[in-house]
Structure 1
Amino acid sequence: MPAFDLPLPELERHRPEPDEPDDFDAFWRATLKEAGQPAPLVSVHPVDNGLRLTNTWDVTFRGFAGDPVRAWFSLPAGAREPLPVVVEYVGYGRGRGLPHERLTWVNAGYAHLLMDNRGQGDQYGNGGATPDPHATAPGGPGPAVRGLRSPHDYHYRRLITDAVRAVTAARALPGVDSARTVAVGNSQGGGLALAVAGLLPDLAAVLVTAPLLCGIRRALDLTDTGPYGEIATYLSVHRGIEETAYRTLSYVEGVSFARRAQAPAHFGTGLRDTVCPPSGAYAAFNRYGELSGGADPRREMYAYPFNGHEGGEGEQVARQLHWLASTLTG
């Protein structure tokens, strides 16, 4: 696929006006207050992961509406002191999979919480374990369109709330230095990490690659691939509700969350990404932290001109590892 979005010099200046409802902050304050039980953890059980150098626990915590959400929590075997904790969010259609699959962060010496996606996990990978009991509002079969007609019913209201609650749960686990909490994600997970950064002012860092839910209106004009294609297909059948859908989507717009974020941030994007167009990543990056009370959070962006949604793959992860280490110790 050739480059299809804006040229890089224009991307580096891309600062579209925010597509943001007047009650954006009130909406999320009310949503998180409703979900804000003081004791997030439901259960923590050790599991046999078949590994000698990593210990893993099966965690259940209370997410949106107090619903049980599953996660894997891992620590380096023999860790003797509280460690910074990386809370990781996975991609669209994926679940938490198996406990031995994602070892980068724990091998780098961090505590690691991998959150399951409610109502997802059936499209690729090794499955999930968290149902979504609220997925009955009008909408299509895919998560991106469940409850699309109302911001209160929309799937991403629930999933973003789960993502915030995952941080609260991670901070309550043993072996964690709660003052050094990091949100990490790619694609849908990147969108969730950005949302968490905008809703929690005290993260130590956020790492985002190819984020979904950024520049949503433009993405719907550019691509029919992936989750945006599901939304376009739904609107092609349910003609005339576009403004209703756009209003719902404005409450989960990643650029709005990015504007409110305060943590140091590391971004990455492929310039040939037709799943999450790079203009969305740049819109979030260029407006990152602008409502953070006068602070100018440290942030970096890496663009991969000949890569699509896979981005920089291992090279991007290497950049993240070095950047995070210097950020947490600097």
Structure 2
Amino acid sequence: MPMLDMPLAQLKEYRGCTPKPSDYDEYWERALEEMRQTDPQVELIPSEFTTPFADCFDLYFTGVRGARVHAKYVRPKHTSAPHPAIIQFHGYTGNAGDWENKLQYAALGFSVAALDARGQGGLSEDTGGVKGTTMNGHFIRGLNDHPDQLLFRHIFLDTAQLARIVMSFDEVDADRVGAMGGSQGGALAIACAALEPRIKKVAPVYPFLSDYKRVWDMDLAKDAYAELRTFFRHFDPQHENEQEIFTRLGYIDIQNLAPRIRAEVLIGVGLMDSICPPSTQFAAINKMTAPVQLEIYPDFGHEGLPGMNDKIYQFLKSL
């Protein structure tokens, strides 16, 4: 068969090459404490979009560093007992999407919350305030500043905070909450399950933001990872600080968060994915200690994986 990356047997053993910072656990405990100390000031505003079996809201909350973060929230009507919920995450530069693709879960009697990642294509704020470049890329935002200023630190915390908010709603059973998403959304689903251990099931598809050094070594710092090459060209053209840069990216590398996941995992991978190379995805998968159901698509890249949405639906409906 054609091969973009390592043979499958090698992929199943690969555990990443991006350095992990020595204070990684302390970093995230400090970050989570900042999140816990942030008053979310939750606001639910009824949407003009209506459907006979669910109520739809624009949900706003205050995240770390004072940003007002937006999500779409769908709550089924005519339910008495607390019910499950799904947290949805979108791809890089995108937004929470239309209401329509949340209704399949509302029809099951689930609530659904879909995050707008701050500073991307939706309504969430990016409060900024970092040293260094703010041009063309989010995972390099704050890379020239203190690690606590990395933008994806804040976005990862938003995922956990949204999950905590949804779990606090009277209508939601906090023990029956799942997370899902593709590409960046897959990375955020993994981050959410890692930082909020009550997440019960997580369904990422070809997750982004994993094993940055491997992307560089494969000469695939383009498309979704193009900002990495841009950063080196502008700020370290002779790669004198390469080790330090990749180590700092290790704070926001989902492979390092993966061991924290307690949720049951269903993950889809295309072996011809040149956007988020398979080895970068397996770097995270192989560090997961929770049960993992792996769905492999040998001939597919960063695109729709036939039947994968149905597999995710069947997986999450049993929450």
Q: 1:316 to 1:108 in 2, by over 3 A?
A: farther
**What's the CA shift string for 1:181-204, capped at 9, x where partnerless?**
212121111111112222222221
Aligned partner of residue 309 in structure 2, secondary structure: helix
Show the counterpart of 1:145: 140
TM-superposed deviation, 1:4: 1.1
AA in 2 matched with 1:194: I
Cα distance in 1 for partners of 2:285, 2:294 equals 7
User: Deviation of residue 120 (structure 1)?
Assistant: 0.5
CA distances 1:15-39 after superposition (whole Å, capped 9, x unpaired): 3467311211111111121121375
- Whether 1:193 aligns to 2:186 is no
Match of 1:45 in 2: 45
Counterpart pick for 2:222 among 218, 221, 225: 225
* 1:146-191 residue CA offsets vs partner (Å, 9 max, x unmatched): 1122422211011111111111111123421112121212111111
- SS of 2:248's equivalent in the other structure is helix
Deviation at 1:227, TM superposition (A): 2.7
What does residue 57 of structure 2 align with?
57
In 1, Cα distance between equivalents of 2:168 and 2:315: 26
Q: What is aligned with 2:126? A: 132
CA separation of 1:311/1:303 partners in 2, compared to 1, >3 Å: closer, same or farther? farther
In 2, the alpha carbon distance for the partners of 1:134 and 1:96 equals 21
Question: What's the % identity of the aligned pairs?
Answer: 30
In the alignment, structure 1 residue 304 sits paired with structure 2 residue 297: yes
Q: TM-score, normalised by structure 1?
A: 0.88
2:232 partner amino acid: L
What number of residue pairs does the alignment pair up?
A: 312
**Cα distance per residue 1:216-268 (max 9 Å; x no partner):** 21022221332311211221222234233212210011111111211111111
Q: Letter of the aligned partner of 1:145 in structure 2?
A: I
Quick check: 2:181–2:204 contact (8 Å CA) kept in 1?
yes
Say which SS state the counterpart of residue 9 (structure 2) adopts.
helix
- Does structure 1 residue 317 correspond to structure 2 residue 306? no
**Closer, same or farther: CA 41–112 of 1 in aligned 2, 3 Å:** farther
Residues 69-95 of structure 1 show CA distances to partners (whole Å, capped at 9, x for unaligned) of 111110233333321111111110012
In the alignment, the residues of structure 2 paired with residue 311 and residue 217 of structure 1 have an alpha-carbon distance, to the nearest angstrom, of 26
Inter-partner Cα distance in structure 2 for 1:57 and 1:6: 45
- On the 8 A contact 2:183/2:208 being kept in 1, the answer is yes
Instruction: Show the counterpart of 2:212.
Output: 216
Structure 2 gaps, min length 5: none
SS at 1:103's partner residue? helix
CA–CA distance in structure 2, aligned partners of residues 135 and 181 of structure 1 = 33
| Shift of residue 142, structure 1, vs aligned partner | 2.0
Task: Note if 1:33 corresponds to 2:33.
Answer: yes
SS in 2 for 1:152: helix
- TM-score scaled by structure 2? 0.91
CA distance in 2, matches of 1:258, 1:84: 23
Matches within 5 A, 1:253-264: 253-264=253-264
Q: Does the CA contact (< 8 Å) of 1:35 and 1:66 recur in 2? A: no
2:274 & 2:45 partners in 1: Cα distance? Answer: 40
Alignment of 1:142-181 (within 5 A): 142-150=137-145, 151-181=147-177
Secondary structure, counterpart of 1:60 in structure 2: strand
Amino acid at match of 1:319: K
Using the TM superposition, give the Cα deviation of residue 276 of structure 1 relative to its aligned residue in structure 2, in angstroms. 0.9
- Where does residue 206 of structure 1 map in the other structure? 202
The RMSD of aligned alpha carbons is 2.0
d(CA) in 1 for partners of 2:198 and 2:168?
Answer: 15
In structure 2, the residue matched to 1:104 is: 104
Mapped contact 1:62–1:165 kept (Cα < 8 A): no
- Partners of 1:311 and 1:199 lie apart in 2 by 28
Aligned to 1:72: 72
**Any runs of at least 4 consecutive aligned residues in structure 1 with deviations exceeding 6 A, and if so which?**
none
Higher relative contact order (CA 8 A, sep 6+): 2
Match runs of 1:259-274 below 5 Å: 259-274=259-274
Q: Which residue of 2 aligns with 1:276?
A: 276
